[in-house]
Amino acid sequence: MGFGRSPQEKETQRYKMEKVTIRLEHEHSAKLLERSKKVLAGGVSSEFRKFNHPHALFYESASGVHIKDVDGNVYLDFTLSQGPMIVGHSHPHVLNRIESCMSKGQLFAGQHELEIELAEKLNRHIPSAEMMRFCLDGSTAVQTALRIARAKTKKNKFIRFEGHYHGWLDNVSWGLTQDEGNMGERHSPLAIPWTEGIAKGSQDEFIILPWNDIDLVNQTLAQHHDEIAAIITEPIMCNSGCVLPEPDFLQGLRETTEKYGMALIFDEVITGFRTALGGAQQYYGVKPDLSVFAKAMASGFPISAIAGKKQWMQLVADSRVIHAGTMNSACALIAAALGTLEVLEESGTHERIFRLGKRLMQGLERVSQETGQNLLVQGLGPMFHTGFCDLKKIKEFRDLRHYKQPKSKMFIQGLQQRGIRVIGRGLWYISSVHTEEHIDHAILMAKDTLNELKSSDL
Q: Which is nearer to ligand PLP, 109 or 324 (CB)?
A: 324
Per CB under 6 A, does 234 bind ligand PLP? yes
Q: Which stretch binds ligand PLP (CB under 6 A): 20-28, 138-146, 326-334, 372-380?
A: 138-146
What is the spatial distance between Cα 387 and Cα 198, in angstroms, rounded to a whole number? 31
Burial class (CB in 10 A: 0-12, 13-18, 19+), 259: exposed
Q: What DSSP character marks residue 315? A: H
Question: Cβ of residue 138: shortest distance to ligand PLP, in angstroms?
Answer: 2
Q: Which is nearer to ligand PLP, 194 or 260 (CB)?
A: 194
Binders in 26-65 for ligand PLP, by CB under 6 A: none
Question: Cβ of residue 316: shortest distance to ligand PLP, in angstroms?
Answer: 19
Contact 392, 368 (CB under 8 A): no
Closest to 64 (Cα-Cα) out of 438, 385, 380, 339: 438
The edge-to-edge listing of strands for the beta sheet with 427-429 is 375-379, 383-388, 427-429
Question: Cβ of residue 140: shortest distance to ligand PLP, in angstroms?
Answer: 7
Q: Which is nearer to ligand PLP, 83 or 339 (CB)?
A: 83
Q: Report strand pairing: 228-233 vs 263-268.
A: parallel
Q: Which is nearer to ligand PLP, 295 or 359 (CB)?
A: 295
Main-chain dihedrals φ then ψ at residue 46, nearest 5 degrees: -150, 135
Peptide bond into 406 cis (omega under 30): no
Question: Cβ of residue 141: shortest distance to ligand PLP, in angstroms?
Answer: 8
Binders in 260-279 for ligand PLP, by CB under 6 A: 267, 269-270
Query: CB 156: neighbour CB atoms within 10 A?
Result: 14
Residue 233 parent element (H or E): strand 228-233
Q: Which is nearer to ligand PLP, 267 or 396 (CB)?
A: 267
Site size for ligand PLP, by CB under 6 A?
13
Per CB under 6 A, does 236 bind ligand PLP? no
Contact 242, 207 (CB under 8 A): no
Distances (CA, A) of 150 to 2, 228, 385: 44, 8, 34
Q: Which is nearer to ligand PLP, 250 or 270 (CB)?
A: 270
Binding ligand PLP by CB under 6 A: which of 10, 22, 137, 177? 137
Which residue has the closest beta carbon to ligand PLP?
138
Q: Which is nearer to ligand PLP, 229 or 292 (CB)?
A: 292
Q: Which is nearer to ligand PLP, 294 or 442 (CB)?
A: 294
Q: Report strand pairing: 383-388 vs 427-429.
A: antiparallel
Q: Which stretch binds ligand PLP (CB under 6 A): 19-27, 52-60, 70-78, 135-143?
A: 135-143
Residue 410 parent element (H or E): helix 405-417
Closest to 378 (Cα-Cα) out of 256, 183, 266, 240: 240
Binding ligand PLP by CB under 6 A: which of 29, 52, 139, 328? 139
Main-chain dihedrals φ then ψ at residue 436, nearest 5 degrees: -55, -40
Binders in 143-172 for ligand PLP, by CB under 6 A: 165-167
Q: Which is nearer to ligand PLP, 220 or 240 (CB)?
A: 240
Q: Which is nearer to ligand PLP, 98 or 270 (CB)?
A: 270
Binders in 167-206 for ligand PLP, by CB under 6 A: 167
Question: Cβ of residue 191: shortest distance to ligand PLP, in angstroms?
Answer: 17
Question: Cβ of residue 86: shortest distance to ligand PLP, in angstroms?
Answer: 14
Query: Mapping DSSP to helix (H, G, I), strand (E, B) and coil, where does residue 402 land?
Result: helix
Binders in 281-310 for ligand PLP, by CB under 6 A: 294
Amino acid (1-letter code) at residue 172:
V
What is the Cα gyration radius of the chain? Answer: 22
Q: Which stretch binds ligand PLP (CB under 6 A): 137-145, 207-215, 400-408, 437-445?
A: 137-145
Closest to 266 (Cα-Cα) out of 297, 298, 230: 230
Closest to 147 (Cα-Cα) out of 138, 156, 159, 135: 156
Question: Cβ of residue 46: shortest distance to ligand PLP, in angstroms?
Answer: 8
What is the spatial distance between Cα 430 and Cα 360, in angstroms, rounded to a whole number? 9
Question: Cβ of residue 242: shortest distance to ligand PLP, in angstroms?
Answer: 11
Question: Cβ of residue 47: shortest distance to ligand PLP, in angstroms?
Answer: 10
What is the spatial distance between Cα 217 and Cα 214, in angstroms, rounded to a whole number? 5
Question: Cβ of residue 396: shortest distance to ligand PLP, in angstroms?
Answer: 16
Per CB under 6 A, does 428 bind ligand PLP? no
Binding ligand PLP by CB under 6 A: which of 142, 331, 375, 430? 142
The size of the chain, in residues, is: 458
Torsion of CA 125, 129, 132, 135, to 10 degrees: -70
Interface residues with ligand PLP (CB under 6 A)?
Answer: 137-139, 142, 165-167, 234, 239, 267, 269-270, 294
